Structure 1
Amino acid sequence: MNDRDINLEEKKRGRPAIGRGEQINVMVRPEITQAIDAAAAAQTDQPARSEMVRRIIREWLVERGYLPE
């Protein structure tokens, strides 16, 4: 058996996909970053900062009727 006969799966590099979406970059003041981190730490699953920001935005949009539940 030579190297061409071996079927190896290629490892995917980078961040795991969250589905299709648009990247939005924002700068926030340190106190906002600290508040986001504190909110994430209070969650049982302790999401990453980016996931916590997605949750906060989604919750805000749902509460105001801009996004269906």
Structure 2
Amino acid sequence: MADQDTVITKKRKGPAPTGKGVLVGVRLQPADLAALESWIAAQEDEPTRPEAVRKLMRLGMTAQGT
């Protein structure tokens, strides 16, 4: 007979959570997406799209002194 004290856990789908924050969804037109992909390819660490958007946002705010 099976052990009745066995707990079955379900695996979560998708990547592990990276932290708490607000999700901001952005749609990019083909030209903007191509420019983003080109920028990513030019970086040494080749960041993911979300990380590239965060880096570009920070660069833009730093350039404006924000």
Q: TM-score, normalised by structure 1?
A: 0.67
TM-superposition CA deviations, 1:40-69 (whole Å, max 9, x none): 000011111111111001110111122xxx
Aligned to 2:3: none
Aligned to 1:21: 21
Question: After the TM superposition, which residues 35-46 of structure 1 pair with which residues of structure 2 at under 5 Å, given as runs?
Answer: 35-46=35-46
Q: TM-score, normalised by structure 2?
A: 0.70
Larger CA Rg, structure 1 vs 2: 2
Q: What residue ranges of structure 2 are gaps of 5+ in the alignment?
A: 1-5
Fraction of identical pairs, as percent: 32
11-20 or 36-45, which deviates more: 11-20
Structure 1 residue 12: deviation in Å? 6.8
Counterparts of 1:24 and 1:34, CA distance in 2: 20
3-state DSSP of counterpart to 2:38:
helix
Q: What residue ranges of structure 1 are gaps of 5+ in the alignment?
A: 5-10
Determine if the alignment matches structure 1 residue 31 to structure 2 residue 3: no
TM-superposition CA deviations, 1:7-60 (whole Å, max 9, x none): xxxx77533444332110111111100100110000011111111111001110
Question: After the TM superposition, which residues 1-69 of structure 1 pair with which residues of structure 2 at under 5 Å, given as runs?
Answer: 14-66=14-66
Moved over 4 A (4+): none
